[in-house]
Amino acid sequence: MRTEQRAGSAPTGIIRRYFDHLPVSDETPIVTLHEGGTPLLHSERLSEEMNAEVWLKYEGLNPTGSFKDRGMTLAISKAVEEGSEAVVCASTGNTSASAAAYAGRAGLTCAVLIPKGNVALGKLAQALVHGARVLEIDGNFDLALNLTKEMAQAYPITLVNSVNPFRIEGQKTAAFEIVESLGRSPDLHVMPVGNAGNITAYWRGYREAKRAGWSQTLPKMFGFQAEGAAPIVRGEPVADPKTVATAIRIGNPASWIGATEASASSGGGIYSVRDKEIVESYRNLAEEGLFVELASAAGVAGLRQLKQRDLVPPGCVVTCVLTGHGLKDPDWAIAGAARPKLVPAELGPILQELDLG
Ligand SMILES: *Cc1c(COP(=O)(O)O)cnc(C)c1O
């Protein structure tokens, strides 16, 4: 079989690239949109501010605009291998966007169950264009998730929420890429935490990279929840989580244990940041050319907090994950911004308006 790849480069897509480190075999049909291989960008401004070497893993450049694609390529490939006819998830966000795209690529039916009255149409746009069957359930999110679990137990339907173990396996490859780019592990790794699957995945990735001899050390893992949705920080589920960062608005994380294990055994921590700090970092990143989701900015806001707590040693190497693309939520981006000013179609007034005349 001819394998798709970019001219003159290594195979693209995380399954081909890390074949020997993932639960796949020659029998696994690879369903890919060439996810992964995202840029690790050096941030001059944050490096200066932190007196450290700060690198940003820009996961918004994955095919559907978030890191969810790394897990979804594997989850959907395994679903096809196992003979599933359909996949299902309970989500109104990036999971359903990714599931819909990869299911479409594989020719599988994709069902998305969303809780009634909780329809964030902006975020559902991707699921809809990729042809997912979106059903609104007369009940809350927990009920929707329970129904998807029942569907997966009784029928040849695969659940692709993050309880699917292949999701975390695929997502660990981002840590492999960081180690490959830096030629070592970072000293500190900082990221947002919602359902906590991703921090679990990065920690696994860093440990496997060390075991494989690609790095000699392990980073301290720091995860940041939003203050109004910080169950791990509080030590108990939050019944009504609130934050502007919808992708981390989670009251009872599925991978809670994975997150505490990562932070405790690496000497890091799970803390919270306020919405105001998230928005400020969101704007700073945008000014530096990086348009991210609000949730993605929680990691950078968290790094600033670590600096204040004196937890960023001078000159250390830091990686921060920017989990999703800002275009996912354009309403937020333009809210409060000044509307473009109307000027005559003449050079003079234009230059004057721009203070360039
Ligand atoms: C899913 C998601 C998160 C949270 O990741 P978890 O694995 O649930 O902790 C953060 N940011 C974005 C953009 C996401 O899509």
Instruction: Transcribe 188-225 into DSSP letters.
Output: EEEEE-SSSHHHHHHHHHHHHHHHTTS-S--PEEEEEE
Instruction: State the pLDDT confidence band at 2, using cuts at 50, 70 and 90.
Output: very low
Query: Helix 197-211 vs helix 256-266: angle between axes, to the nearest 10 degrees?
Result: 50
Return the ligand 1 atom nearest residue 324 CA: 13
Return the ligand 1 atom nearest residue 223 CA: 9
What's the predicted TM-score (pTM) here? Answer: 0.94
% the chain with pLDDT above 90: 82
**77 CA → ligand 1 middle, Å:** 21
**26 CA → ligand 1 middle, Å:** 31
**194 CA → ligand 1 middle, Å:** 6
- SS3 (DSSP) at 283: helix
Instruction: State the pLDDT confidence band at 4, using cuts at 50, 70 and 90.
Output: low
Q: Considering the chain, what is the average pLDDT of its residues? A: 93
Looking at residue 149, the DSSP 8-state letter turns out to be H
Q: Exposed, middle or buried, 282 (CB in 10 Å: 0-12/13-18/19+)?
A: buried
Looking at residue 122, the DSSP 8-state letter turns out to be H
The pLDDT of 236-250, averaged and rounded, is 92
Residue 91's nearest CA partner among 192, 167, 205 is 167
Residues with C-beta less than 6 Å from any ligand 1 atom? 66, 68, 94, 192-198, 247-248, 293, 295-296, 323-324
Q: What confidence score (pLDDT) does residue 145 get?
A: 86
Least confident of 77-86, 212-221, 339-348: 339-348
Return the ligand 1 atom nearest residue 295 CA: 11
- Reported as a single tens digit per residue, the pLDDT across 276-309 is 999 999 999 999 999 999 999 999 999 999 999 9
Does the pLDDT at position 24 exceed 90? yes
